[in-house]
Amino acid sequence: MVSESAVPVAANDFARQWLDIRDDAIGAVERVGASGWLILGEEVREFEREFAAWWGVDHAIGVASGLDAIEIALRAAGIEPGRRVLTTPLTAFATTLAILRAGCEPVWCDVDESGGLDLGLADIALRDDPTIAALVPVHLYGHPLDPDALRRLAAEHGILVIEDCAQSAGAERDGSPTGVAGAAGATSLYPTKNLGAMGDGGVILTDDEALAERARSLRDYGQAGRYEHVEAGLNSRLDELQAAILRSALLPRLDGFLACRAVIAARYEAGLRGTSLRPITAVVGRSAHHLFPVEVTAGDPLEVAARLREAGIGVGRHYPFVCPDQRAVAGIGISLGELAVARRLATRELSLPIHPYLEEDEVEAVLAACVEVCG
């Protein structure tokens, strides 16, 4: 039997967030409305300035999504269509899709026990195939990969590194944030992310002035100046409304959000000891705790997920399929080896609810259900 006292615990709760941010968000909408300026104006410029300062980079370029941020970063860094790009099979499909959209061929190599790309295997892959032009590692779950190892791979193999930081806003390792080891980072402002807009958005992060300028052009039809189109760009602009809400209501709360996530993660880690749910944790450094992934080490993961859901727990799966198995890439891309660890985690991973508006009694309800089902 699962607990009778089950309270539904949602994976995310944007209605609760609204109660908290309402006044600031309405003020931001009012400001944009009164300004009469709706696209690429003061709000986007100021958000980019404030977010770059928060992240610790020279330039932030607001775009329409995390997917676009990766594609534009690859193109702005000069990765030509037709080139091979090494990446992880265990991620949101958007990572692979961005590589395809940049006209490149994805090459997937396996992950390690933290869920992130195995950088030792990446080293071997890059040595074996000198035609690989770039690496797109993902700081999956918010766990930071080793920035020195990424820098070494870039230098030793002469490749460009574009980091997928969609889940890692706030992560830190060796005193630096993610996204700064290579040419650029790309993050997502999708509502569930650590810094989520009230809709879609993404940001390219870089210290490279020329890359930043090309990214600004690519997001706006590839214009150099008005009506002067120097390459085939996208329409991928962050809205003034989203930028204003981010600036006034969300970015000022981000450090608090991250602190809440860290408290919940610590409680889960302690409370799951002795259960058959193994927290998939960061090896080194400070995770941004975008997700709280666990590996189901005993029993059928789908049955465990079903029982936890019956107990009202909004469990997720990140991700149930590895990218190369998706029909969208049938016959496309190269898988290196069996991708055994990625496949095992894809089968056995569950995500427990973790978001800034989760209440203490809900965290305890999640743990009680986990102990009951997997104790």
Ligand X SMILES: *Cc1c(COP(=O)(O)O)cnc(C)c1O
Residue 160 is a binding residue for ligand X (CB under 6 A) = no
Residue 217 is a binding residue for ligand X (CB under 6 A) = no
Peptide bond into 319 cis (omega under 30): yes
- Alpha-carbon span 133 to 196, nearest angstrom: 31
Beta strands (DSSP E) in the chain are: 59-63, 84-87, 105-108, 132-136, 160-164, 172-173, 176-177, 184-188, 202-206, 223-225, 228-229, 277-279, 292-296, 334-335, 349-352
Provide the H-helix boundaries in 36-159: 42-55, 66-76, 93-101, 119-128, 147-157
Q: Give the residue with the Cβ less far from ligand X, 67 or 211.
A: 67
- CB burial string 282-307: b at 16+ within 10 A, e below: beebbbbbbbbbbbbeeeebeebbeb
The stretch near ligand X (CB under 6 A) out of 10-18, 37-45, 87-95, 281-289 is 87-95
- Alpha-carbon span 249 to 19, nearest angstrom: 11
Residue 203 is a binding residue for ligand X (CB under 6 A) = no
- Considering only residues 102, 121, 138, 145, which one is a binding residue for ligand X as defined by CB under 6 A? 138
Q: Which residue's C-beta sits nearest to ligand X?
A: 66
- Alpha-carbon span 298 to 317, nearest angstrom: 17
- Alpha-carbon span 116 to 114, nearest angstrom: 6
Residue 188 is a binding residue for ligand X (CB under 6 A) = yes
Min dist. Cβ of residue 246 to ligand X (A): 13
Q: Give the residue with the Cβ less far from ligand X, 236 or 248.
A: 236
Site string for ligand X, 33-72 (x = CB under 6 A): --------------------------------xxx-----
Q: Give the residue with the Cβ less far from ligand X, 92 or 365.
A: 92
- Considering only residues 55, 108, 190, 292, which one is a binding residue for ligand X as defined by CB under 6 A? 190
# chain residues binding ligand X, by CB under 6 A: 15
Residue 145 is a binding residue for ligand X (CB under 6 A) = no
Angle CA(138)–CA(320)–CA(109) in degrees, nearest 5? Answer: 45
Residue 25 is a binding residue for ligand X (CB under 6 A) = no
The stretch near ligand X (CB under 6 A) out of 7-15, 161-169, 174-182, 308-316 is 161-169
Residue 91 is a binding residue for ligand X (CB under 6 A) = yes
Binding site for ligand X (CB under 6 A): 65-67, 91-92, 94-95, 138, 164, 166-167, 188, 190, 200, 202
